[in-house]
A and B are shown apart, each in its own frame.
Chain A
C-alpha cells in the first residue's frame, strides 16, 4: 500500500524533472536549503552531517534566536526554566544559519527562495520545516491588542507569567498543559474551553473528567463549554456574560501547519503540505517535514515523529534508502501519566471488528481504554497508569501484540495467580441455594457421589443450574483425594 503511494508520487514528480536531475537530489552533495529553524530543522541538519552529506547547507530562521525546544515553552512560561535552557546545541561548523530572516516566497521554476528584504537565494534541494502557526480567535473589545494578552507559541510569547490571575483561552493539548503548569506554579488559573472537557478531540469523556480533576488539584479551574468573546484590559468576557479577571491572558486556541510558503510554490497542500512516504512534496526538489507537513498515516505530529522524519529525510538526501517513516507515535501531554495512542477517531468510534479493554479506577484517578485489533493496539488513552504508559506505549509504537493479561498490564502488576484450587472452603459454589465447597465435600463424604445425589443432599444445582460444572469438578477433586 505504502509502496504504491510512493511510486505514484515519484511518477508525478518525474513529470517535471529529468532522470539526472532526480539523481542530484540523492547523492549527498547537493546544496540543501532549509526554511524554518525549529527542532525538526535542527535535527535534520545534524543527521545530514551524521549520514555523510557533503554539500553546502543553509538554514533560514524567522525568529531572531537559534533553534529551541518549543515543546518546553510552558516551562519558561511557568518560571521553571530560563529561556536560554531551551536552546538547542549549535549546528556543525560549515552550516550557514540565518536567523531573523523570513523567507516570503519560493520559486520552484528558478529554484530559489526570496527573503523579506528582497534578496534571492538559489537552492539545490529545498526542505520546508516551517512548523505550525497559531490559529487565533476573533475577540471583541481591545481584542488582541489588550495588555497582558499573549500567544505562548514562541519564546517571545512565552516569557514568564508575572501577573495574575491567568486566563488560558483554549483547552487543547497546549492550553491544558499551560493551565496545569501555571496552576502548579501557584497562579490563579482559569482554562476556558469550548469542548465538553479539556482536550476533547484527543480524550474520551472519562479521561477528560480525570484531566479536569488533575487541573483542579493543580489550582486551575476548567470552564468547559464556554468561549471568550471579548477582551478588555484586565478582564475577559465569557459567552455566558461572566467577566473573568485576567492579569495575563494566554491564547492557546490551536495551531495549523504553516503552509503559506508552500502555497507560494504551488505545492499540493491539504491541511498540511502533502508529502509521500519519503517526505517529498509534489515538487521533486522540495521536501517537507515536521508540523508543516502531513505524511500519509501520521495522526499526531510529536517531537519524536519530527525527529524520526528528520533522520529518514537526512538518509534520503544522502543517497541512502531513507526508510519510510513509522506512523505510530504516543502523544504524552505534560500532565501526570497521560498518554494518547493512535488516531482519535478509532478511540471515539471503534470499528465493528475491534476489541475494547477498559480499566476504570475513579477513586485513584486512573483510567485506561485500549482499542485493539488482532491483539495489537489501534488506539488508546491512559490516565494515571504510570507503568502502563511505558509498557503499552512501547508495545504500541513497536506494533507488537499485547500479553494476554491486560488487567495486569494496565495496573502494572505482575503478581501470580493462585489457581482455583486455592479457593477457601467457605467459597459459595451454588449461590441459588447458598451451598459452599465445604458443604459439597461433606455431602461427598456422606455418600452423595453423583450430581443427583449431591442435588438431593445439598440442593446445589437445583436453582439456575449454572454451577453444575463446578459441582462436578469439586466432586472429581474429592474423589481423587
Chain B
C-alpha cells in the first residue's frame, strides 16, 4: 500500500531527503509530495554568487532529469504551506489545496535576519539567499558605486563577491572581531581580511551597523557603523545570519527550540511521531544548524527511518568546511577555537606567502582535534582524516599539504 510523504520546502535538505527516500524505496512504498515556495526546484545556495559569474539557474539546479520525471515525486512549485493540522494530518497551502500525509517532513529552511536598524527598508537594501534576491541585486547595482555587506560570515563574503562581480566596490561589516567567526579563528580571519582587502574589499570587523541614511528619493546613500564610521553605500546587502522558518509550528501546536526552529529529538522527529524536521528549520535537541552539511545528515537519518530503520539518528554536525571565498581559500575543521579542555595550539603563519595554518592538539601535543587553514588549504583533506588520531608527519608538513595518507 502506498503511503504519502509530504515534504514542506525544497531546499538542499528537503531535496536530499527526497533523493534518499527514492534511492532506498525500491518497492515504491512512498508517494512524495513536495511543497516548494520558490518558482524553481532546489538549487545550490552555497555557490550562489557564481550565478553572477556566468552560471545559470539551470547550472545550480540540484535536481536530476530522473527525479523530475519520477512518477512518485510530485513537486509543486510556487506553493506555500500555510497551515498544518496534525489531527487530520493535513497541510493546507496558500492556494487552499489540502494535502493529507502519512508522514510529514518540514524542511522550510530559514530566512535572512535583517537587524532592526533605522533605514533598513530604504530602496537599495537587499537580502542574499535566493536567485530572485540576486536578480534584484543585479538590476539595482550600478558599477563603480560603493556597496556595504552586513555580515562577514561565509554568506557575507559570498555577497561581497557578488557585488564585486557586478562592478560595485564592496565593504564588509562584521560584528565579531574577525571574518568568518564560525569557521576560522582570529589568526585565520586576519589573514583572510588581509587577502580580501588586497582585492579591494573594505573590511570592518568588531563593529555593527547602527543606521542607514537615504537620499530624498528614499534610496540608501550611506550607513553609519556602531563606532561612528560612515561608509557611502548605494547598495546594502544583509547577510548577517538567518532565522529558522518555523511559522507552521504555531497553528500545529508543535514546540519550538529556545532560539526558534521546530524542536526535534536526535532522530529529527517532533513530539508527533509522524512529523519530522530537517535542515536549517530544525532545532535538534534545541540547536539549529545554519550550514548545508548538517542538513544533509538530518535528511539521511530521517530517510532511513521512513525506510524502516527507526533507530537512525542525526550523528551530530561536523562543522568542518573548506571554502574559496573571493578567491581566497580557507578551511576550518574540528575544534577550531581550541575549546577542548587542555588543548594545545600550534600556529604557522608565512607572511610572505600569505598563508596561515593552525593545528589544535590534545594535551599530548600529538592527537589532532582541529585546525584552521587560510590562504592555502592543500593540507585540508589529510588533516581532516587525521581528526582524532595522532599526527602522522611533522605539523608543518601536514599544514602545507606535503603529507599523504
- A-to-B contact residues, CB < 8 Å: 350-361, 363-364, 404-408, 410-411, 413, 415, 417-424, 427-429, 431-432, 434, 463-464, 466-470, 473-474
Contacts and interface: CB of A to CB of B under 8 A. Distances in A.
Nearest to B403: A420
Contact of A356 (B315, B348, B388): B348
A360 B382 contact: no
A314 B381 CA distance: 60
B365 A434 contact: no
Given A466-B322, A469-B381, A470-B381, 15 more contacts: A352-B351, A353-B352, A355-B348, A356-B347, A363-B344, A406-B348, A415-B366, A421-B405, A424-B389, A427-B388, A429-B385, A431-B318, A431-B333, A432-B296, A463-B293
B348 A467 contact: no
Contacts of A359: 344-347
Interface stretch (B149-157, B170-178, B261-269, B393-401): B393-401
Interface of B: 293, 296-297, 315, 318, 320-322, 333, 338, 341-352, 359, 363, 365-366, 377, 380-382, 384-397, 403-405
A346 to B, nearest CB: 12
Given A428-B387, A470-B382, A355 B395 contact: no
A420 to B, nearest CB: 4
Given A407-B395, A417-B391, A427 B345 contact: no
Contacts of B395: 405-407
Contact of A431 (B338, B349, B384): B384
A433 to B, nearest CB: 8
B344 A419 contact: no
Contacts of A360: 338, 344-347
B394 A405 contact: yes
A404 B352 contact: no
B405 A355 contact: no
A350 B296 CA distance: 43
A422 B392 contact: yes
A405 B390 CA distance: 15
B345 A358 contact: yes
A422 B386 CA distance: 11
A428 B344 CA distance: 23
Contacts of A464: 321-322
A434 B296 CA distance: 11
Contacts of A468: 381
Nearest to B356: A356
A206 B220 CA distance: 43
A463 B384 CA distance: 14
A408 B361 CA distance: 13
B385 A470 contact: yes
A418 B390 contact: yes
A418 B352 contact: no
A74 to B, nearest CB: 32
Contacts of B352: 352-355
Nearest to A429: B385
A359 B346 CA distance: 5
A404 B381 contact: no
A470 B348 contact: no
A357 B187 CA distance: 12
Contacts of A358: 345-349
B396 A405 contact: yes
Given A356-B347, A464-B322, A363 B342 contact: yes
A356 B349 contact: yes
The 3 closest A-B CB pairs, nearest first, are A405-B394, A358-B347, A420-B405
Contact of B293 (A361, A410, A411, A432): A432
5 contacts: A351-B351, A408-B394, A428-B384, A428-B387, A466-B377
A467 B347 contact: no
A428 B381 contact: no
B351 A420 contact: no
Contact of B394 (A353, A357, A404, A474): A404
Given A363-B363, A427-B385, A470 B405 contact: yes
Nearest to A368: B346
A407 B365 contact: yes
B381 A467 contact: yes
A30 B210 CA distance: 77
A92 B391 CA distance: 58
Given A406-B348, A432-B293, A420 B387 contact: no
Contact of B386 (A350, A408, A415, A427): A427
A418 B262 CA distance: 46
Contact of B351 (A354, A364, A415, A429): A354
A473 B385 contact: no
A283 B351 CA distance: 44
Contact of A355 (B344, B350, B393): B350
A432 B318 CA distance: 8
A472 to B, nearest CB: 10
B385 A467 contact: yes
Contacts of B315: 434
Contacts of B405: 420-421, 423, 429, 470, 473-474
Contacts of A408: 394
Contacts of B390: 418
Contact of A420 (B338, B348, B382): B382
A407 B364 CA distance: 12
Given A415-B366, A434-B315, A473 B345 contact: no
Contacts of A353: 351-352
Nearest to A417: B393
A473 B344 contact: no
A478 to B, nearest CB: 12
A429 B377 CA distance: 16
B381 A423 contact: no
A417 B392 contact: yes
Contacts of B342: 363-364
A413 B364 CA distance: 11
Nearest to B187: A358
Contacts of A469: 381
A423 B348 contact: no
Contacts of A466: 322, 377, 380-381, 384
A355 B385 contact: no
Contacts of A407: 346, 359, 365, 394-396
A473 B351 contact: no
A466 B383 CA distance: 11
Most chain B CB inside 10 Å of its own CB: which residue of A350, A361, A429, A434: A361
A413 B344 CA distance: 14
B18 to A, nearest CB: 16
B396 A420 contact: no
Contacts of A421: 405
Contacts of B382: 420, 470
Nearest to B293: A432
Nearest to B320: A431
Nearest to A427: B385
Nearest to B46: A464
A449 to B, nearest CB: 18
A435 B264 CA distance: 26
Nearest to A354: B351
Contact of A361 (B297, B344, B397): B344
Contacts of A356: 347-351
Contacts of A357: 346-349
A432 to B, nearest CB: 6
B392 A418 contact: yes
Contacts of A429: 385, 405
Contacts of A364: 342, 363
Nearest to A420: B405
B319 to A, nearest CB: 10
A206 to B, nearest CB: 10
B285 to A, nearest CB: 19
A461 B333 CA distance: 17
A404 B320 CA distance: 28
Most chain A CB inside 10 Å of its own CB: which residue of B322, B333, B385: B385
Nearest to B365: A411
